[in-house]
A and B are shown apart, each in its own frame.
Chain A
Amino acid sequence: MVEDRSGPIELAGIYRRLIGARIRADWQYRTSFTLLTAGQMLFTIPDFVVVAMIFDQVPRLAGWTLAEVAFLYGLSDLAFALADIFVSQVESLVPLIKQGSFDRLLTRPMSPLIQVSAEFFALRQLGRVVAPILALGLAVSWLNLQWNAQRVLLTVMALGAATVIFSALWIMTSAITFWAVDSSHATHSITYGGRFLTQYPLSILGEWLRRLVIYILPLAFVAYLPTVVILDKPDPLGLPRALGYASPAVAVILAFAARAIWATAIRHYRSTGS
């Protein structure tokens, strides 16, 4: 008798195959595919160009140089792009429910989250990593820093944590749309808004917003706090440096929260049928 629960490795294999199916299906519409991929790259590059143009006008932004902001932007946007590629598909859940196609997912021996991620996987979104990787490359070359093992490790950890944070936020906001159907646009204020916000130093934000993104919606831990530590920058806000190392912990907490909210949403669906 086959084991009832799949192990993570097996799940990864199934996921890989499901994504493969999606990619093959999309590839049939080649022109659209190429245009959309180009569009993805185009969409993210302007953000960085805007940053560059700002620094054309002013030498520093809230005490940060272009190289430093480039690093901030690169770290944040790369994490977002990764979360976008694998997790953003949760946004399609509510339309799926409205169509009545969600029930099908519940009859399969796999988490609906993974199924929906594979179902709407879009390879073209890989285009979104180009701009932030470029930005990171440029930042590293402009910054006058020693890239020892510790620094690299911190960066990688920060990137991983940031990806998990964005993913968790996506799942949580989409789960909430189970209750408040049609509010999907509002969730963009947290997901895409979060992306935009984390591209810039925290110090530009008004006091109230700063507090919000540190204590309540932990966007500050995505890029700003880790970057302050990685780049060895004195923090004008005077926040404890330890926070810079805390992003993995925050990511874990948020992941658990996302899991709980998601489970609640599914429970709600199963008792109300909508």
Chain B
Amino acid sequence: MSTEPHIRMSAVRKTFTVRQRAGRIRRRRVEVCAVDGISLTMNRGELCGYIGPNGAGKSTTIKMLTGILVPTSGTIRVAGLDPSRSRLRLTRRIGVVFGQRTQLWWDLPLRDSFDLLRYVYRVPATRHRANLAAFSELLDLGPLLATPVRQLSLGQRMRAELAAALLHDPEILYLDEPTIGLDVVSKAAVREFLLQVNRERGMTILLTTHDLADIERLCSRVIVIDHGHIISDGTVEDIKTRFGDVRTLVVDLAEPCPPLDVPATEIVQVEGPRQWLRFQRDHTTAAAVIAQVADQAQIRDLAIEETHIEDVIRRIYTESPATDTSK
């Protein structure tokens, strides 16, 4: 088995020339850099999250990895192939799920879509049947097979899209916002499925999302991108540690008090007798904060909230994008 990374991007840049209005008639050509020197590698079987604010360059990256777009400079190797040259060959080895666009046939029963994909990808009948059975079971698609796709709910359709993307046994799966707009149950089903598929089939998965719960549940590794640069690449724990572990002490006082003044803490919220104090792990300890609060007021009850990844990510987004702290 090759030790070559499954996906490798080296110093990839992508610029677009956009025509902007300059005055009433004339247009000015402006160069927009969507991706500015990204290098990353993924090994076979990794389940990696790819997050960033809107316009950061996530979709552009995915499009380059799938061969839809050709990079302006830099090299890309996916499953040993160059997507810009071997696009057609690569399509057999990858599966793509675009959150907002469907790849199913709208007016026909779901089963027909699966059948057609078998022909499009030329999957041997036995393999197709086995995959379909497995996915129907895992994603509970059995009762939906006879329903026209247009009548499926969003959650049902997304489960179907997942199955559709994997019917041809791709090596790599790209997901672009797969849980967007889904209800809690469907989200859980999707996440479970991805974990299982990653575990049992060793599928390499790259997932972009705005839902940070996806990241926490699924990803061993998270890449954060902003303004076309990677600003962080590591495990979720790494990110939490590196970007400051923020904890919150929620304290119920005996009676409402003015906001407490405790060194190295920040009052985030006050609601009657309850106050939220935020502090950083490396600046002070929970014990010290509790002691200092007890000095100033009478505590009835307390709780400590751990780092919310939202906060971490928000801090990363708002910090200077020029710092490249990837390993």
Q: Do chains A and B touch in the complex (CB under 8 A)?
A: yes
Residues from chain A with a CB closer than 8 A to the CB of B194 are none
7 chain-A/chain-B pairs, Cβ below 8 angstroms: A4-B88, A5-B88, A25-B107, A107-B91, A109-B122, A110-B120, A273-B60
Mark out the residues of chain B between 54 and 92 whose CB falls within 8 Å of any chain A CB in the assembled complex. 60, 63, 66-70, 72, 84, 87-89, 91-92
Chain B interface: which size bin? 20 to 34
B116 is an interface residue with CB less than 8 A from chain A: yes
- B120→A109 contact, CB < 8 A: yes
B243 is an interface residue with CB less than 8 A from chain A: no
Closest CB of chain B to A259's CB: distance in Å?
15
**Which one of B95-103, B129-137, B269-277 contacts A?**
B95-103
Q: What is the 8 Å Cβ interface bit string for chain A, positions 91-112, against chain B (1 contact, 0 not)?
A: 0000000001101101111100
> Total A-B residue pairs with C-beta atoms closer than 8 Å?
76
A148 is an interface residue with CB less than 8 A from chain B: no
Residue of B nearest to A106 (CB): B68
Chain A interface: which size bin? 20 to 34
Whole-angstrom CA separation of A101 from B69 in the bound complex = 14
- B92→A17 contact, CB < 8 A: no
Q: Which residues of A contact B (CB under 8 A)?
A: 2, 4-6, 10, 13-14, 17-18, 21, 24-25, 28, 100-101, 103-104, 106-110, 267, 270-273
Whole-angstrom CA separation of A156 from B70 in the bound complex = 43
Closest CB of chain A to B12's CB: distance in Å?
14
Residues from chain B with a CB closer than 8 A to the CB of A18 are 116, 119-120
A6 touches which of B63, B69, B122 (Cβ 8 Å):
B122
- A270→B92 contact, CB < 8 A: no
With contacts A21-B116, A25-B107, A272-B17 known, is A107 near B96, CB below 8 A?
yes
B68 touches which of A2, A10, A107 (Cβ 8 Å):
A107
Whole-angstrom CA separation of A4 from B94 in the bound complex = 13
- B92→A109 contact, CB < 8 A: yes
Residues from chain A with a CB closer than 8 A to the CB of B89 are 4
- A103→B112 contact, CB < 8 A: no
Whole-angstrom CA separation of A28 from B112 in the bound complex = 15
- A106→B108 contact, CB < 8 A: no
Closest CB of chain B to A194's CB: distance in Å?
32
- A14→B103 contact, CB < 8 A: no
B16 touches which of A5, A100, A272 (Cβ 8 Å):
A272
Closest CB of chain A to B55's CB: distance in Å?
14
- A109→B16 contact, CB < 8 A: no
Residues from chain A with a CB closer than 8 A to the CB of B84 are 270
Whole-angstrom CA separation of A243 from B124 in the bound complex = 49
- B92→A2 contact, CB < 8 A: yes
Whole-angstrom CA separation of A273 from B123 in the bound complex = 30
B107 touches which of A13, A28, A273 (Cβ 8 Å):
A28
Closest CB of chain B to A80's CB: distance in Å?
28
- B92→A273 contact, CB < 8 A: no
Whole-angstrom CA separation of A100 from B59 in the bound complex = 12
Residues from chain B with a CB closer than 8 A to the CB of A14 are 119-120, 122
B105 is an interface residue with CB less than 8 A from chain A: yes
Closest CB of chain A to B16's CB: distance in Å?
6
Residue of B66, B68, B70, B112 with highest tally of chain A CB at under 10 A: B68
Residue of B nearest to A111 (CB): B88
Residues from chain B with a CB closer than 8 A to the CB of A4 are 88-89, 92
Whole-angstrom CA separation of A270 from B103 in the bound complex = 20
Closest CB of chain A to B39's CB: distance in Å?
21
With contacts A2-B92, A17-B116 known, is A103 near B68, CB below 8 A?
yes
- B63→A273 contact, CB < 8 A: yes
Residue of A nearest to B106 (CB): A25
Residue of B nearest to A272 (CB): B16
With contacts A100-B101, A103-B63 known, is A2 near B122, CB below 8 A?
yes
Closest CB of chain B to A56's CB: distance in Å?
46
